Amino acid sequence: MTHQRTSNRHARSAALIVALSASLVVIPATSHEAIPAHEAAAAQRLKADGPTETIGIDKLTQLGQVPLAGEIPGADGKVLRAREFVLAPGATIAVHEHQQRPGLAYILEGELVEHRNDQQGPIVRGVGAVAFERNGVVHYWKNESGRPARALVVDIVDAESP
């Protein structure tokens, strides 16, 4: 009986560790490495040809933020923020760049297409997909489906960012 209880406890502990590991977010350090030439060229193409206006955001909810001063050395004036976006069918989030602004987007509902400079073609991201945004990433999003899409976006930004 004791062995069974110990076995169950270890199984529950292992399941908890797996669940916690799946939810961990690793924030990349600021990179001072040069962006590869092909990514830089793709970034210029996206900036020139990508959408310049964000349209079709049905709802944007500020979920909260944590000031990073005192949390991470050198992060004074930065916050870790979380927002929820609801994008209508046909919605677009304009081309933008992540420079010393790491983040991630987790798709909660629906499907979004991401166009980014570090990939060969568009990426269709469905429920449960995560897009990591690091230094040098230039990208935009489109909801090309016929239904709303919902995403959780977590990033590090200047404290005064909207």
Residue 44: HSE in the Cβ half-sphere, 13 Å Cα cutoff:
6
Structure tokens at 91: 């919605």
- Average pLDDT of the segment spanning 29-47: 75
pLDDT at 35: 76
CA separation (Å) from 91 to 50, 94, 162?
14, 10, 20
Q: What is the pLDDT of residues 69-122, one digit of tens each?
A: 999 999 999 999 999 999 999 999 999 998 888 999 999 999 999 999 999 899
Fold of 31-158: Jelly Rolls (2.60.120)
pTM (2 decimals)? Answer: 0.75
d(CA 125, CA 114): 7
Domains of the chain by residue range: 31-158
Q: What is the pLDDT of residues 59-84, one digit of tens each?
A: 999 999 999 999 999 999 999 999 99
User: Taking 90 as the threshold, does the pLDDT of residue 26 lie above it?
Assistant: no
CA separation (Å) from 40 to 99, 117, 154, 160?
13, 7, 25, 28
